Chains A and B, each alone.
Chain A
Amino acid sequence: RSLQLEERKPSQQIAQRRVRKRRRLRKVRRRVRKSREEEERKQHVQRRRLSSSSDDNSEDESMSEGEMARLKEEVEEKKKLIATLRNKPWRMKRRLKCLKEAQAFVEKFEGALGKGKGRRLYAFKVMMTKKIIKFNRDFENFKTACIPWESRIKEVESHFGSSVASYFIFLRWMYGLNLVLFGFVFGLVVIPEVLMGMPYGSLARKTVPREEQDSAMDFSVLFEFGGYCKYSIMFYGYYNNQRSIGLLQFRLPLSYLLVGVGIFGYSLMVVIRTMARNANEGGDGAEEGTFTFCWKLFTSWDYLIGNPETADNKFASTTTSFKESIVDEQENLKDENIHLRRFLRILANLLILCCLGGSGYLIYYVVKRSQGFAKKDRNELTWLQKNEVEIVMSLLGLVCPPLFEVIAELEDYHPRIALKWQLARIFALFLGNLYTFLFALFDEVNSKLENEKEIKNATIWALKEYYTNYTLYNNVTENIPPPNISPADVIRGPCWETEVGIEFVKLTVSDIQVTYLTILIGDFLRAVIVRFLNYCWCWDLEAGFPSYAEFDISGNVLGLIFNQGMIWMGAFYAPGLVGINVLRLLSSMYYQCWAVMACNVPHERVFKASRSNNFYMGLLLLVLFLSLMPVIYSIMTLPPSFDCGPFSGKDKMYDVIMETIEKDLPPFMADIFSYASNPGLIIPAVLLMVLAIYYLNAVSKAYQNANLDLKRKMQMQRDEEKNRRNNKDSTNQVMKDLEDLMPNKSLIPPPSAEETEIPADQLRKSPKVTGKPGAAATGKGVHVQKDVSLAAANPRAPVTRPPGPRPPGPLPGNARGPPPGQGMGRGRGGPPPRR
C-alpha cells in the first residue's frame, strides 16, 4: 500500500480517489451494519422470547427497508432544519454548530442511502439539488448586488422614517417594472424595425411630407413632437406593415401586437405577485381600539431613524400622541350635535362632486376647442392655445387636491379616515380627467377616420389615373412600373394612431414638467424664502405660516400611479413613450431625493393610509385594468389607418393573428382555433368559469365565517377572563341573557367542585374546560363537551387576596349558589398551580 501511495501519477489520482471513496463507503457500511447487527441481535433475542419466527435474511451489504426509510426521514429532517435555521431564535454560535453537525450528518448518510437499483439516480438527484441550491444562492447574491440606490434610500429613511422612504422604495420598484417593459418594446419592436426594416426616407410613411420639410427641424416643431419626431420610431406610424422582414423572417406586425398586449400581461403578473407577497405582512387585524396604548408603547419608535433632529421630532410627536390618548381615555369625548355633522358632511360631498363635475366638463371643453384650433394654421396660434389641454389638465391636478382638503375641514373626521377620503377623491379626480380626455380624443379619432376615407379614395383614384395614362401613352397593359413619385410627395392619410400617440406623449411630458416645477417652486423656493426672509420678518416664518413643507406621500404615490396608467395606455401608440418614462423615473429618483433632503421636514403626525402596502398596489391594479380597456377597444373595433403603421391595409388590427394562424402555423392548428372560436364551445366555457368563480367564492366565504367565529370565541374568552379577574359582571350580552334564563338560585343544591359554563352557542366547540357539569345546576340538560382550554392556567391561581364577597345571584359561568369551600374554588379538583 505504501508503494501505491508513492507513485502518484495524475491518471492514478482519480483511481486513488475512487478507492478512497469506496473505502469510506465501506467504513460507513460497516458502521451501519454493526448498529444494525446490534439491533438485530436485540430483536432476535426478543423474538426468541416471543418464540416467533425470525427472518435474518438481510444481506451484508444492503440495509433493510425499514432502516432505509427511517434514515431517509432523518436526513430529510436535517435538511429541513438547515433550511429554517435562520428563523430560529438561537445564538449564532449554536446555530453554526448545529449547521455543521446537520451538514455532516446529511453528507455522511446521503452516500449510504444510495443503495440498490436506484443508486445512480439517487446520487444524481442529490448532486443536482446541491447544484440548484448553490445556483439559487449565487443568483440571490447577484440580484441584491444589482439593487440600486440603497444608500440613498437609507439616508432618506434615517431622516424621515419609514413612511416617506416607502414612497422611494415604490418609485424604485416602478423603475424596475418600466425597465423590463422598455426591454420588451425596444428589443422586440424597435430594434428589428431599425435594423432589418426599411430606412428613413424610403417609404411614404417614413418620410416627412414635402410641405413640412422646411420646418421639420425647428425646435418648436420638435418640441411638439411634429417634424422629424413624428416620423421616427417613437410613434406608431413609422412601422412598416411588411409581413416578415430581414434574414430571420421576423414577423414585425405580429410582434407589435403581441408586445402591446404582453405589456399588460407582464405588468399584471408582477403587480399580483407583489400583492401576494405583501399580504402576509398585514398583521392579524385586531380592531382599532383594542391595543392602543400597547401599540403606542412598543411600535411608535421607528428604528430606522438615525438623525438627531428627526429623533427629537419623533420624541415630541410620541409624547403628543400619548397625551392625546390619555385625554381621550379620560374624557371620552363624544360628539354633541350629530345632525349638524351629518349636514356638514353632505354639504362637503356635494361641493366636491360639483368640483369633480366641473373639472370633467372643463377638460372636455378644452379638448373640443383644441380640435377647432387644429384646423387652423399652426402659425396663428399662440403657445397657450397650442398647449391648452395639457396645461389645463396639469393645473387641475395641482389645484384640486388642496381644494378638497380645505372642503374636508367641514367634515371633521379622524385623521386616518380623512386621509382615506382625500385619497379616494384625488383618485376620482384623476380618473375622471383621464377618461374625459380619452373620450374627447376618441371623438377626434372618429372624425379622422371619416377624413381618411376621403383621402384613401383620392389616392386610389390618383393611382388608377396614373395606370390608365401609362397604358394610354405606352400601350402596355401588364407589368406597369409603380409611379415614380418621391415618398415625400405622396398624399398622406391623417394616421390617427400617431396623433393619439402624440397626445399621450405631450401629456406625459407636460406632467413631468409640472411635477418638477411644483417641487422647485412649492418646496425649494418656499424653503429658501422661509430660511432667508426669516431674519427680517415680523413673525417666525419657520414655526408659523408658511414653514417648511412636509413631503406629501399620498399625493406623490397617486401621481406615480396615474403616470404609469398613462404610459400603459399610450405605449401601444407610441413605443418610444416607455423609454421616456424610464428616463423620467431615473431623473425623478435623484431629483426628489435631493428635494426631500434639502427642503422638507419630517411629518409631525404620521398616519398610514392602510394596514398593509397593498392599498397602493390595489390602486395600481385598478388603474392597470382601466388603462387596458381603451387599448383593447381600439384593437378590436377601430380600423387601422390604411397607410401607416404595422397594421395598415387590414380591416382590424387583430387580423394579423388570423393571418399568422393561417399562413405560418401547421394546418391543424387553424382547425383547432376555428373550433375553439365556435360560440358553441365558448359559451359553455364561460359558464364553467362563472360556476367555478361562484364555487370558490362560496368556499372563501365559508372560511371567512369560520375565521370570524374563532376570533369571536377568542375575544369572548379574553373578555371573560378579564371580567373574572376584575370581579366584574359580564359585559357579554349572551352571557347576560343566559344568566337571566337561569332558574332561581335558591332552589339549587350546592354545586360540585367543577366549574361549568356552557354558553348556548358554544355547544359545538366550547373553548373552556368543562368537567362534569352539575347537570342539575345548569338545569337545561345542556350537552357538555370536554375541550382544551385556551387559558394558560387557573386565572385565579395566585390568591393574593381572600375571595371577595360575591353579589347575590350567579356570576357568569361560575359555580351556582353559595360560594364553594376555600380550597375547592375553580380548580379541576387540585390546588391551583404555582407560578
Chain B
Amino acid sequence: MGNKQTIFTDEQLDAYQDCTFFTRKEILRLHGRYHELAPHLVPMDYTNDPDVKVPLALIVNMPELKENPFRNRIVESFSEDGKGNLSFNDFVDMFSVLSEMAPRELKAIYAFKIYDFNVDNYICKEDLEKTLNRLTKEELTPEEVILVCEKAIEEADLDGDNKLSFADFENMISRAPDFLSTFHIRI
C-alpha cells in the first residue's frame, strides 16, 4: 500500500498503531526524528528490531523539549533503566502519552512519575520544592517556597502522611481544568 518504505515491516507498523495513538505516517515521521538525533547510532532499518538506545543528553536537546524545565525527568520516566536512555519503543511511547489523544488517566499516571523526583512513588515535600524551583527559576525566597509546598500538601493530601500518593495526586489533577491542554507535546 502506498509508498514502499523499508524501515519497518507492515506488521510492525500495524502493531505500533495498535499500541500508540499514532497513525502510520506519524510513526514513520517519529522514526525520522529519532534517527536525526543520532544518525550514526540509529539504523534506518528497524525490521529486525535492533537494540539501540539514544542517551539522555541528545534527547533533551530536541526543540520540543529544550525549553521544558522538566525535560530530564520526562525522559527518565519513560526510559527502562531510569537513566534516560530511550530506545525507539520508549521514544514512541513518550510522545504517544504526551499527545493530544491520550486520555486523562494515562497522562495523570505519567505526570505523577515525572514530578516524583526521588522515585519513591510518593511526591514528598522535597519533590515539591524541586518542582517549584524549576518552575520559578529559583526566584522565590526560601520562606515562600516552604509556604507554597506546605499549602500544596495541605490541599491535596487526603490520608495525612504529609506526602502525595498517587491517589491524592490523581484526585487533584482530575479536576484541574488546564491539565489536558498543558500536558501536551505536539510532534
Task: Scan A141-159; emit 1 where CB is below 8 A from any B CB, else 0.
Answer: 1001100000001100110
Could you tell me if A301 and B89 are in contact, using CB atoms closer than 8 angstroms?
no
Task: Scan B122-148; emit 1 where CB is below 8 A from any A CB, else 0.
Answer: 000000100110011101100010011
Which among A92, A286, A307 has the greatest number of chain B C-beta atoms within 10 A? A92
Complex contacts, A319 vs chain B, CB 8 Å? 135-137, 139-140
Could you tell me if A303 and B182 are in contact, using CB atoms closer than 8 angstroms?
yes
Residue A100 is within 8 A (CB to CB) of chain B in the complex:
yes
CB closest residue in chain A, given B110: A89
Query: Known contacts A294-B152, A318-B135, A792-B167; is A835 also within 8 Å of B161 by CB?
Result: yes
Query: Known contacts A86-B18, A303-B68; is A282 also within 8 Å of B177 by CB?
Result: yes
Expressed in whole angstroms, the minimum distance between the Cβ of A723 and any Cβ of chain B is 11
CB closest residue in chain A, given B19: A95
Scan residues 71-109 of chain B and give those whose CB is less than 8 A from a CB of chain A.
80, 87, 89-90, 92-93, 96, 98, 102-106, 109
Residue in contact with A307 in the complex, picked from B1, B14, B67, B155, CB distance below 8 Å? B67
Could you tell me if B160 and A299 are in contact, using CB atoms closer than 8 angstroms?
no
Could you tell me if B67 and A311 are in contact, using CB atoms closer than 8 angstroms?
yes
Complex contacts, A87 vs chain B, CB 8 Å? 102-103, 105-106
Residue B70 is within 8 A (CB to CB) of chain A in the complex:
yes
Could you tell me if B155 and A795 are in contact, using CB atoms closer than 8 angstroms?
no
Scan residues 156-187 of chain B and give those whose CB is less than 8 A from a CB of chain A.
156, 158-161, 165, 167, 172-186
Could you tell me if A144 and B15 are in contact, using CB atoms closer than 8 angstroms?
no
Complex contacts, B118 vs chain A, CB 8 Å? none
- How many chain B residues sit at the interface, stated as a range, is 35 or more
Q: How far is the CA of A611 from the CA of B179 in the complex (A)?
A: 11
Query: Known contacts A299-B183, A301-B70, A798-B161; is A293 also within 8 Å of B148 by CB?
Result: yes
Expressed in whole angstroms, the minimum distance between the Cβ of A84 and any Cβ of chain B is 10
Complex contacts, A798 vs chain B, CB 8 Å? 161
Complex contacts, B151 vs chain A, CB 8 Å? 292-293, 329
Task: Scan A85-97; emit 1 where CB is below 8 A from any B CB, else 0.
Answer: 1111101110110
Residue B17 is within 8 A (CB to CB) of chain A in the complex:
yes
Which among B21, B66, B96 has the greatest number of chain A C-beta atoms within 10 A? B66
Could you tell me if B177 and A608 are in contact, using CB atoms closer than 8 angstroms?
yes
Expressed in whole angstroms, the minimum distance between the Cβ of A135 and any Cβ of chain B is 12
Could you tell me if A326 and B177 are in contact, using CB atoms closer than 8 angstroms?
no
Residue A791 is within 8 A (CB to CB) of chain B in the complex:
yes
Could you tell me if B172 and A284 are in contact, using CB atoms closer than 8 angstroms?
no
Could you tell me if A301 and B152 are in contact, using CB atoms closer than 8 angstroms?
no
Expressed in whole angstroms, the minimum distance between the Cβ of B23 and any Cβ of chain A is 5
Residue in contact with B111 in the complex, picked from A163, A298, A326, A835, CB distance below 8 Å? A298
Q: How far is the CA of A415 from the CA of B160 in the complex (A)?
A: 34
Scan residues 298-317 of chain A and give those whose CB is less than 8 A from a CB of chain B.
298-308, 310-311, 315
Residue B33 is within 8 A (CB to CB) of chain A in the complex:
no
Residue in contact with A92 in the complex, picked from B92, B105, B106, B186, CB distance below 8 Å? B92
Residue in contact with B18 in the complex, picked from A93, A99, A154, A157, CB distance below 8 Å? A99
Task: Scan A793-829; emit 1 where CB is below 8 A from any B CB, else 0.
Answer: 1011010000000000000000000000000000000
Task: Scan B11-26; emit 1 where CB is below 8 A from any A CB, else 0.
Answer: 0001101111101111
CB closest residue in chain B, given A302: B182
Residue A82 is within 8 A (CB to CB) of chain B in the complex:
yes
Q: How far is the CA of A307 from the CA of B67 in the complex (A)?
A: 7
Expressed in whole angstroms, the minimum distance between the Cβ of A612 and any Cβ of chain B is 7
Which among B115, B167, B179 has the greatest number of chain A C-beta atoms within 10 A? B179
Could you tell me if A162 and B184 are in contact, using CB atoms closer than 8 angstroms?
yes
Residue B64 is within 8 A (CB to CB) of chain A in the complex:
yes
Residue B69 is within 8 A (CB to CB) of chain A in the complex:
yes
Complex contacts, A297 vs chain B, CB 8 Å? 128, 131-132, 135, 148, 152
Query: Known contacts A283-B174, A306-B64, A793-B159; is A300 also within 8 Å of B182 by CB?
Result: yes
Which among B24, B70, B106, B155 has the greatest number of chain A C-beta atoms within 10 A? B155
Complex contacts, A304 vs chain B, CB 8 Å? 182, 184-186
Residue A369 is within 8 A (CB to CB) of chain B in the complex:
no
Query: Known contacts A292-B155, A795-B159; is A93 also within 8 Å of B181 by CB?
Result: no
Q: How far is the CA of A158 from the CA of B68 in the complex (A)?
A: 11
Residue in contact with A157 in the complex, picked from B111, B136, B175, B186, CB distance below 8 Å? B186
CB closest residue in chain B, given A161: B182
Interface size on A, residues (CB 8 A): 74
Could you tell me if A795 and B176 are in contact, using CB atoms closer than 8 angstroms?
no
Complex contacts, B158 vs chain A, CB 8 Å? 718, 721, 791-792
Could you tell me if B128 and A86 are in contact, using CB atoms closer than 8 angstroms?
no
Residue A74 is within 8 A (CB to CB) of chain B in the complex:
no
Complex contacts, A163 vs chain B, CB 8 Å? 181
Could you tell me if B148 and A144 are in contact, using CB atoms closer than 8 angstroms?
no
Residue in contact with B172 in the complex, picked from A89, A137, A291, CB distance below 8 Å? A291
Residue in contact with A86 in the complex, picked from B63, B96, B144, CB distance below 8 Å? B96
Residue A61 is within 8 A (CB to CB) of chain B in the complex:
no
Residue A52 is within 8 A (CB to CB) of chain B in the complex:
no
Could you tell me if A303 and B183 are in contact, using CB atoms closer than 8 angstroms?
yes
Q: How far is the CA of A154 from the CA of B106 in the complex (A)?
A: 23
Q: How far is the CA of A310 from the CA of B68 in the complex (A)?
A: 11
Could you tell me if A92 and B155 are in contact, using CB atoms closer than 8 angstroms?
no
Q: How far is the CA of A295 from the CA of B182 in the complex (A)?
A: 11
Query: Known contacts A85-B18, A92-B93, A303-B184; is A290 also within 8 Å of B155 by CB?
Result: yes
Residue in contact with A286 in the complex, picked from B24, B175, B178, CB distance below 8 Å? B175
Complex contacts, B177 vs chain A, CB 8 Å? 282-283, 608, 611-612
Q: How far is the CA of A587 from the CA of B132 in the complex (A)?
A: 43
Residue A709 is within 8 A (CB to CB) of chain B in the complex:
no
CB closest residue in chain A, given B103: A87
Q: How far is the CA of A490 from the CA of B149 in the complex (A)?
A: 84
Scan residues 427-485 of chain A and give those whose CB is less than 8 A from a CB of chain B.
none
Could you tell me if A792 and B23 are in contact, using CB atoms closer than 8 angstroms?
no
Query: Known contacts A141-B25, A303-B183; is A298 also within 8 Å of B148 by CB?
Result: no
Query: Known contacts A299-B182, A301-B182, A611-B177; is A306 also within 8 Å of B19 by CB?
Result: no
Q: How far is the CA of A290 from the CA of B104 in the complex (A)?
A: 20
Complex contacts, B18 vs chain A, CB 8 Å? 82, 85-86, 99
Could you tell me if B144 and A322 are in contact, using CB atoms closer than 8 angstroms?
yes
Expressed in whole angstroms, the minimum distance between the Cβ of B102 and any Cβ of chain A is 8
Query: Known contacts A305-B68, A792-B159; is A92 also within 8 Å of B90 by CB?
Result: yes
Scan residues 386-440 of chain A and give those whose CB is less than 8 A from a CB of chain B.
none
Could you tell me if B136 and A298 are in contact, using CB atoms closer than 8 angstroms?
no
Complex contacts, B178 vs chain A, CB 8 Å? 295, 299-300, 608
Residue A725 is within 8 A (CB to CB) of chain B in the complex:
yes
Task: Scan A61-99; emit 1 where CB is below 8 A from any B CB, else 0.
Answer: 000000000000000000000100111110111011001
CB closest residue in chain B, given A612: B177
Expressed in whole angstroms, the minimum distance between the Cβ of A271 and any Cβ of chain B is 20
Could you tell me if B23 and A315 are in contact, using CB atoms closer than 8 angstroms?
no
Residue A48 is within 8 A (CB to CB) of chain B in the complex:
no
Scan residues 28-84 of chain A and give those whose CB is less than 8 A from a CB of chain B.
82
Query: Known contacts A282-B177, A721-B160; is A92 also within 8 Å of B89 by CB?
Result: yes
Expressed in whole angstroms, the minimum distance between the Cβ of A806 and any Cβ of chain B is 18
Could you tell me if B152 and A293 are in contact, using CB atoms closer than 8 angstroms?
yes
Could you tell me if B176 and A89 are in contact, using CB atoms closer than 8 angstroms?
no
Listed A/B pairs (23) with beta-carbon separation below 8 Å:
A92-B93, A96-B89, A99-B19, A140-B23, A144-B23, A144-B25, A162-B184, A290-B175, A295-B176, A297-B131, A297-B135, A298-B173, A299-B178, A300-B178, A302-B182, A305-B67, A306-B63, A306-B64, A315-B136, A322-B135, A322-B136, A323-B140, A722-B160
Q: Which residues of B contact A (CB under 8 A)?
A: 1, 14-15, 17-21, 23-26, 63-64, 66-70, 80, 87, 89-90, 92-93, 96, 98, 102-106, 109-111, 115, 128, 131-132, 135-137, 139-140, 144, 147-148, 151-152, 154-156, 158-161, 165, 167, 172-186
- Given A86-B18, A292-B151, 18 more A-B residue pairs with CB atoms under 8 Å apart are A92-B92, A99-B18, A145-B23, A162-B184, A284-B174, A291-B156, A294-B176, A297-B128, A303-B68, A303-B183, A303-B184, A306-B66, A315-B137, A319-B136, A319-B137, A326-B148, A792-B158, A792-B167
* In the A-B complex, the 3 residue pairs with the closest CB atoms: A92-B89, A311-B67, A286-B175
